[in-house]
Amino acid sequence: MKWITPYYLVFMLGAWLVTDGWQVIALKHIDPAAQVTFLSLEFSQITFIWLVRAFLVAAILFINFAVWWAWRNRSSQGVDHARA
């Protein structure tokens, strides 16, 4: 648990990044000419997937804003925790 699990984990993650991960992240498997329709709007598929990724980043920022908000309120109530 102390040695095998972390190295196994890092090795598998590294192997995935080299074999598949980079292809997926860089959208190498998507045909650049492919077009899609979303709510009657036309996009190239690559643009659309990047827009979806932007949506996910926005969702991450929103969740982190909620985290910041929660700790800010705890600060004002004098709860013991790390600095907001």
Partner 1 sequence: MKQRENWGSRLGVILAVAGSAVGLGNFLRFPVKAATYGGGAFMIPYLIAIVFLAIPLAWMEWTLGRYAAIHGHGTGPGLLDKMFKKPWAKFAGSFGLFAPTFISFYYVFIQSWLLAFAWYSLNGQLLNAVQSNTITSFFGDFIMLNTKIGPIPAAIFFFVITFLANFSVLAFGVRRGIERLNKYAMPLLLLMGVGLLIRVLTIPGIEAGLAYMWNPDFSALTNPRVWIEASGQVFFTLSIGIAVILCYASYVKKDEDLVLSSLSAVGTNTFAEVILSGTIVVPLAMILYGANIAEVAQMGTFGLGFQTMPMVFGKLPLANLLQFVWFSMLFLAGMTSTISIQQPLITFCEDELKFKRLKSIAAVAIFTGFGAFVAIFGLAGGALS
Q: Contact positions toward partner 1, by CB under 8 A?
A: 1, 4-5, 8-9, 12, 15-16, 19-20, 24, 27, 29-30, 36-39, 43, 45, 48-49, 52, 55-56, 59-60, 62-64, 66-71, 73-74, 81-84
User: In the complex with partner 1, which residue's Cβ is closer, 22 or 70?
Assistant: 70
| Residue 29 beta carbon to partner 1: minimum distance, rounded to whole angstroms | 8
User: In the complex with partner 1, which residue's Cβ is closer, 22 or 73?
Assistant: 73
Q: Which amino acid is at 70?
A: A
Structure token digits, residue 55: 């949506």
Structure token digits, residue 43: 């996009």
Closest among 27, 28, 64, 73 to 49, alpha carbons compared: 27
CA angle 24, 28, 33 (to 5 degrees): 130
